[in-house]
Structure 1
Amino acid sequence: MIVHSLYSPIFVGNKFSLYPVRYFLYCWLFVALSHLCGAQTPLNTPRKDTAIAIGPRAAWDNRCADSLREKGCPDEAGDTDSLVQYKLNGAFFKSIFSDAEYVVTRPAHWQGRDFRNLGIVMGTTGALLLADREIKRIVQRNQHPVINSVANIVEPFGNRYSPYIMAGMYVAGAAIKDPGLKNAALLTFKSYAISTSLYLLTKSMIRRNRPAYTNNSLDFHPPFSSDRYHTSFPSGHTLTVMTLATAVSEAYGQQHRWIPWVAYSIAGLTGVSRIYHNRHWSSDVWIGASLGYFVTRSVFKNNRVKKRTGLQVVWR
């Protein structure tokens, strides 16, 4: 019997083992996070707990809120200094509802580019729906021990690791007195709460059978039915890890260009692992990723608007 540990060789006999690689990966992520915390500069904060008085400028910035790229408006791609700063208190939890309202009502304010992106998402979804069965057949016929090991490593980033990473970000920020890292953790949690709520509502309405139980990719039950097998659409693992990846990229991507590459790569591999393990159809994964990305981008965008327009009290 072979006991896998940190000292296990990469090759055991003639078989490839990824157990040591898993530990090295975790160590690398820990070092990267430590470097990130050390490199992050504190955010600018107001001197006291008051709302920012804008006066006549509020009308101008309110126009910009729905069209941040309109000529003469501030650019959307701000750094972390442009985010509202929160504390873990009642005011923060109340702000989740205002952000949720913003996310739900965003389609009413969409413009040309937004509808183009929606067309891309829906068109890709339709194509994947038609190809789901064939994708499943190809993937299940090409199982390999190495790919299986990689899938086992990245899949827990979906539901198992992500909540701990969020909590770890907050605890690390408190430990090293980095308000930026704490605030990023709170915004990530807020995005996670909103995206998960929309995910649960969608899953209860669209009752699609999982690929592990059928070869019919168009097997749907009526909305709100209680069959535990028809819970495939969308992918919760992918939504969770994409929410985390997008939040980290929004908070730190401007200062550290490598973060979005790493975060989105892990998120993408996690989604693929759900297809590989026959837990979800490819279209489930695509919609889960799209929903997590949209919600998180909207939450960060709304908090930048709040900070810029002074429509929100800044809590310190």
Structure 2
Amino acid sequence: MGFRLIFLLLVIFSPRLQAQSDSSLPVVTDSSRPAIKASDTLIRYRINGVYLGSIWRDLKYTVARPAHWEKRDYIRLGVITGVTGILLGGDYGVKQFFVRHQSNFVTSVTDQIEPFGNAYSPYLVAGMYVVGVIAKDRNLEHGGLMAAKSLIISTAIYATIKSIVRRGRPTYYDSPFSFNAPFSKDKQHTSFPSGHSLTVMTVATAFAELYGKDHPWVPWVSYGIAGLTGATRLYENRHWSSDVWVGLALGHFVTKSVFRHHRELEHKKAMQLMMAP
């Protein structure tokens, strides 16, 4: 079922992935030289030294973003922090709710959704890239690499946080405030944040960035699947609700940062072309 879904999505999107352009860029009207076209400013990756180097540069950009935040960014942080605090207070109650409402039917449904967090999403990203290479579709190939880069960076940040914040999983502890020392190795304290939620939201956000402009339904479907995947982690008693919330938020905003940096680089390239003699 999972592979058929992945194949269907690739068939739908392969011919439709369009290059994004910044409509706010000035138009060169100097008749002495050709006007700059949107295609002239595009940056399209292949697996090479440039792409590998961009992963490190995007990681640094993402980590340094708080130093360049605007008012709206602090508002978003406040919302995320506030919701996290509310969920921390309700984590135990949420756990008990899902424990009390388990059934064979619901379990059969969650078993189909849960793999989006650890299997389907990475396969979909890899499939995008492979199909792009085989079909010689540079946009699709680039899209797969952008999604892969977002996943690498968000996973690196997530793994760092998880190694420091050693929170006990609800599978083993009734208290949501059971913590171990940073960098401890026991598997019982690996709850925060949710890796499944981060993975599926990273890929969902990448798809929304790549396809959302031309297909407004894509973000609804992508984010809907991400949310349902997070809910399966609560149902299976693998994570606290605050783990899932932070995992989703982290995957979303890290991926948005990666794509934002890419658009800034394309804008910079356009400016350089305009200033060239």
Partners of 1:209 and 1:217 within 8 A in 2:
yes
Partners of 1:203 and 1:232 within 8 A in 2:
yes
> Shift of the alpha carbon at 1:29?
4.9
**Compared with structure 1, are the counterparts of its residues 29 and 165 closer, same or farther at alpha carbon in structure 2 (3 Å cutoff)?**
closer
Please list, as runs of the form range in 1=range in 2, the aligned pairs for 1:134-153 lying within 5 A after superposition.
134-153=93-112
**Secondary structure of residue in 2 paired with 1:36:** helix
Partner residue of 2:178 out of 214, 219, 234:
219
**Secondary structure of residue in 1 paired with 2:239:** coil
d(CA) in 1 for partners of 2:121, 2:263: 24
d(CA) in 2 for partners of 1:203, 1:214: 17
Percent pairwise identity = 47
Instruction: Say whether 1:184 aligns with 2:143.
Output: yes
> Shift of the alpha carbon at 1:83?
5.5
Please list, as runs of the form range in 1=range in 2, the aligned pairs for 1:266-281 lying within 5 A after superposition.
266-281=225-240
**Compared with structure 1, are the counterparts of its residues 93 and 293 closer, same or farther at alpha carbon in structure 2 (3 Å cutoff)?**
same
Residue-by-residue CA offset, 1:127-168 (whole Å, 9 max, x unaligned): 000000000001110012222111101111111222211110
d(CA) in 1 for partners of 2:64, 2:8: 40
Partner of 2:33: none
Counterpart AA for 2:90: A
Partners of 1:83 and 1:300 within 8 A in 2:
no
d(CA) in 1 for partners of 2:159, 2:4: 33
> Which TM-score applies when normalising by structure 2?
0.87
**Compared with structure 1, are the counterparts of its residues 181 and 137 closer, same or farther at alpha carbon in structure 2 (3 Å cutoff)?**
same
> Shift of the alpha carbon at 1:30?
2.9
> Shift of the alpha carbon at 1:40?
3.5
Partners of 1:84 and 1:307 within 8 A in 2:
yes
Gaps of 5+ in 2: 26-37, 273-277
**Compared with structure 1, are the counterparts of its residues 175 and 236 closer, same or farther at alpha carbon in structure 2 (3 Å cutoff)?**
same
Partner residue of 1:163 out of 104, 115, 122:
122
> Shift of the alpha carbon at 1:27?
3.8
Instruction: Say whether 1:40 aligns with 2:23.
Output: no
> Shift of the alpha carbon at 1:31?
2.6
Gaps of 5+ in 1: 1-22, 46-67, 75-79
Partners of 2:17 and 2:210 within 8 A in 1:
no
d(CA) in 2 for partners of 1:85, 1:257: 23
> Shift of the alpha carbon at 1:261?
1.2
d(CA) in 2 for partners of 1:161, 1:40: 20
> Which TM-score applies when normalising by structure 1?
0.77
Please list, as runs of the form range in 1=range in 2, the aligned pairs for 1:171-210 lying within 5 A after superposition.
171-210=130-169
Residue-by-residue CA offset, 1:38-94 (whole Å, 9 max, x unaligned): 3335x499xxxxxxxxxxxxxxxxxxxxxx9xxxx66xxxxx977621111111001
> Shift of the alpha carbon at 1:33?
2.6
For these two proteins, the number of residue pairs brought into alignment is 259
Instruction: Say whether 1:31 aligns with 2:8.
Output: yes
Counterpart AA for 2:125: M
**Secondary structure of residue in 1 paired with 2:122:** helix
Instruction: Say whether 1:285 aligns with 2:244.
Output: yes
Which stretch shifts more, 157-166 or 126-135?
A: 157-166
Counterpart AA for 2:261: N
d(CA) in 2 for partners of 1:287, 1:162: 19
Partner residue of 1:247 out of 198, 206, 215:
206
**Secondary structure of residue in 1 paired with 2:265:** helix
d(CA) in 1 for partners of 2:110, 2:271: 43
> Shift of the alpha carbon at 1:183?
0.6
Counterpart AA for 1:171: V
Partners of 1:306 and 1:312 within 8 A in 2:
no
Counterpart AA for 2:195: G
Please list, as runs of the form range in 1=range in 2, the aligned pairs for 1:5-154 lying within 5 A after superposition.
23=1, 27=4, 29-41=6-18, 43=19, 84-154=43-113
Greater helix content: 2
